[in-house]
Structure 1
Amino acid sequence: MQLLPGSDPIPTPEQRRIPRHQLSAYLAVINSLTGRPFGYIGNLSPHGVMLICALPVMLNEEYHLELHLPEMSAKEYPRVIRFRARSRWCRADVAPGHYDCGFSISHNREAFAGLARALQRYFTFGDFTGA
């Protein structure tokens, strides 16, 4: 069954030259006090983080959190980064049952700033033209 004229119902293989990376699938954040999942990183900067959470968070509260990093070849970062973050905003995500929550980092900012710079370098698209 063709949905559009000239369309092929058989899926075509991925044609990307650069693999897609879904950070939210890898960068899990855990509540340090309970050991339970808190959310996943949606966005990261040297000063703050946006988490995708299953529940809304109370605003202007400080949370004790841990960022669980995947295994990396570079040993410049620990496997777990413990930090405290203050909630600044929270709104419903486009995906039902999820919330986007913004936090400012209140403790261990140096580790976060370094991680943000490393991720920016890793995901920056270089000049592939050879110029």
Structure 2
Amino acid sequence: MFTDRRIERHQLPYFLRVFNSVTDKPIGFLGNVCEDGLMLISHWPMMLGADFELRLKIPVSDGILQVIDVQACCLWCHEDATPHHYDAGFSLQRVPPEYGQLVEALKLYFSFQPLPASA
């Protein structure tokens, strides 16, 4: 039986926390992203149809964080397979350019695309 992992597993949800941008209190973790939406994993269910002011704090380097604020509407929410966790899908209504850069960076980081040849 194969037991050694050759590729390191990256647990994205437990690295990128999501905050309420009004109170700056954590509300969950980023589950996945796309250009016009995101999935939040939280300990609390989210109210459907409600607008949320969300804040992402992205580590850049040496403890420096890039703050990305987005306005989003909760489209769906259901209990996760993990006990006491909820998954919620959000449609983004106000998206700064930095969010698009984050989506592209995550696509590159988690893909198996060949690196560009150096000149």
Aligned partners of 1:60, 1:109: CA distance in 2, in Å?
Answer: 22
Query: d(CA) in 2 for partners of 1:35 and 1:124?
Result: 31
Alignment root-mean-square deviation, CA: 2.2
1:80 — aligned with what? 67
Whether 1:61 and 2:47 are equivalent positions in the alignment is no
Q: What SS is found at the alignment partner of 1:69?
A: strand
Identity %: 40
Report whether the alignment pairs 1:93 with 2:80: yes
Match of 2:17? 28
Matches within 5 A, 1:1-40: 14-16=4-6, 18-40=7-29
Residue aligning to 1:52: 41
Q: Using the TM superposition, give the Cα deviation of residue 72 of structure 1 relative to its aligned residue in structure 2, in angstroms.
A: 4.1
Q: Which amino acid in structure 2 is aligned with residue 89 of structure 1?
A: W
**Which structure 1 segments of 5+ residues have no match?**
1-6
Q: Flag as ranges the 4+ runs of structure 1 deviating above 6 A.
A: none
For 1:14-33, what per-residue CA distance to the aligned partner results, in whole angstroms no more than 9, with x for missing partners? Answer: 532x3211111111000011
Count of residues paired in the alignment: 113
TM (norm. structure 1) is 0.76
Offset at residue 81 of structure 1 (A): 0.6
Code of the residue aligned with 1:102 in structure 2: it is G
Aligned-residue offset at 1:112: 2.2
Distance in 1 of aligned mates of 2:21 and 2:114: 41
Structure 2 counterpart of 1:25, one-letter code: Y
Structure 2 distance, partners of 1:114, 1:99, is 27
Counterpart residue type for residue 113 of structure 2? G
Q: Which runs of 5+ in 2 are unaligned?
A: none
CA distance in 2, matches of 1:34, 1:126: 39
Residues 88, 104 of structure 1: 8 Å contact kept: yes
1:109-128 equivalence runs, <5 A: 109-126=96-113
